[in-house]
């Protein structure tokens, strides 16, 4: 059984840790720009994979690439079948899921988000915003960390990696 991984696709060293954003690569509502900027401060052995459709917004991808001054991000926009998608997600180390708080529904996504459900199926620890229902869930099940803003993402990543088996 051939296993496909982000390491294979992007020719990354096997010890490179993968932080995954899986979903629409859009400038609106998912904080992709902020994630790319925060990734510039990731430790040397950590990179960011953005996986998902950009709906033809090549200009936004160019902007993201221009912001990636430390070559920390890798973009994968191919549509793949579910088996391949799950295999790739399984090869990541941490999943990112950020939703704005403009609508109450976005704060209640912990049990309804396909992105989060997919991360859970792959046993990936999750980093997301500090919404009350996420915090309660993560405190009970120890499966992720919440942050208030992107200046805290490195600390969250390091906390997860320092105790990865607990998540």
pLDDT at 163: 95
Host H or E run for residue 51: strand 46-51
* Predicted local confidence at residue 161, as pLDDT: 97
What is this structure's pTM? 0.93
Whether residue 1 is predicted with pLDDT greater than 90 in this model: the reply is no
Kindly state the average pLDDT of the residues 9-26: 96
Minimal CA–CA distance to 47: which of 23, 25, 76, 83? Answer: 76
Residue 47 in this model has a pLDDT that exceeds 60: yes
pLDDT of residue 106: 56
Q: Identify the weakest region by mean pLDDT among 47-61, 89-103, 145-159.
A: 89-103
pLDDT reading at 37 higher than 60: yes
The edge-to-edge listing of strands for the beta sheet with 94-97 is 73-76, 46-51, 17-22, 94-97, 126-129, 144-147
For the cut 70, the answer to whether the pLDDT of residue 104 exceeds it is: no
């Amino acid at each position: 059984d051939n296993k496909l991984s982000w390491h294979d696709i992007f020719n990354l060293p096997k010890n490179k840790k993968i932080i995954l954003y899986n979903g629409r690569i859009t400038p609106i509502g998912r904080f992709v720009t902020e994630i790319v900027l925060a990734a510039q401060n990731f430790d040397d052995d950590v990179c960011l994979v953005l996986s998902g459709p950009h709906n033809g917004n090549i200009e936004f991808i160019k902007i993201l690439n221009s912001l990636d001054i430390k070559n920390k991000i890798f973009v994968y926009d191919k549509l793949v079948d579910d088996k391949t998608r799950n295999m790739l997600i399984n090869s990541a180390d941490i999943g990112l899921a950020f939703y704005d708080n403009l609508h109450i529904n976005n704060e209640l996504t912990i049990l309804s988000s396909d992105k989060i459900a997919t991360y859970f199926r792959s046993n990936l620890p999750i980093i997301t915003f500090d919404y009350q229902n996420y915090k309660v869930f993560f405190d009970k099940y120890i499966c992720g960390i919440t942050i208030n803003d992107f200046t805290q993402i490195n600390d969250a990543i390091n906390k997860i990696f320092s105790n990865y088996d607990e998540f």
